[in-house]
Chains A and B, each alone.
Chain A
Amino acid sequence: QSVLTQPPSVSGAPGQRVTISCTGSSSNIGAGNDVHWYQQLPGTAPKLLIYDNNNRPSGVPDRFSGSQSGTSASLAITGLQAEDEADYYCQSYDSSLSVVVFGGGTKLTVL
């Protein structure tokens, strides 16, 4: 059971918008700890997609955006493309456990 909760799967048609939620608690996201998102394409290492809640590293398309409110965060992907089909993970820091925590991951299927 992951400390951060994500839906196991989401799907959308090309061109659509999808969101992936990440629910935490008062000891991680709710404590003001930043949320980060990773994209893991099949058979590859994870890649940083969003850092510090809503910032994109160089090279990440602006179709990807992040937000955070209270004890939850969300990743939004607009203009869905076939190449976006991947697993997505949220990550934060838990102040009570003093550890880095990940969500269980969400598999995005592009229909």
Chain B
Amino acid sequence: VQLVESGGGLVQPGGSLRLSCAASGFTFSSYSMNWVRQAPGKGLEWVSYISSSSNTIFYTDSVKGRFTISRDNAKSSLYLEMNSLRDEDTAVYYCARDRNWDFDFWGQGTLVTVSS
């Protein structure tokens, strides 16, 4: 199992960024997926969940209306579209495979820095 995130970088407040997570080593279309973030020096925070068929999606309150999770099973890829970014969105963003509302495999993370 391998999960590789990309797309992080420096963005100004109010800006947008799209994160990607390329999955391999397992049948991607059979698993729900999540995004989890970790602000510098802080703990883990769950961000969003998407079911295997994209039928069910959840977000933490602080990103609702700003972030959009999606997936392309044909490409074994997970995405996070982030708009109206705020300073407090600065974090390492991890994609994580969902086992049963726990996360059995994680990517190495991609750093998003929101700063002017």
Contacts and interface: CB of A to CB of B under 8 A. Distances in A.
A57 B36 CA distance: 20
Contacts, number: 58
Name the prevailing secondary structure of the B interface residues.
Answer: strand
A100 B105 CA distance: 16
A74 to B, nearest CB: 17
B101 A34 contact: yes
Interface in B5-50: 34, 36, 43-46, 49
Interface in B81-116: 94, 99-109
B109 A102 contact: no
A17 B105 CA distance: 27
Contact of A2 (B34, B43, B99, B101): B43
**Interface footprint category on A:** 20 to 34
Nearest to A35: B102
Given A45-B94, A46-B94, A51-B99, A101 B106 contact: no
Contact of B43 (A34, A47, A57, A89): A89
Interface of A: 2, 33-34, 36, 38, 40, 44-48, 51-52, 57, 89, 91, 93, 98-105
Interface of B: 34, 36, 43-46, 49, 58, 60-61, 94, 99-109
20 contacts: A2-B43, A34-B100, A34-B102, A36-B103, A38-B44, A45-B107, A45-B109, A46-B36, A46-B106, A47-B106, A48-B99, A48-B102, A51-B99, A51-B102, A52-B102, A91-B102, A99-B58, A99-B60, A102-B45, A104-B43
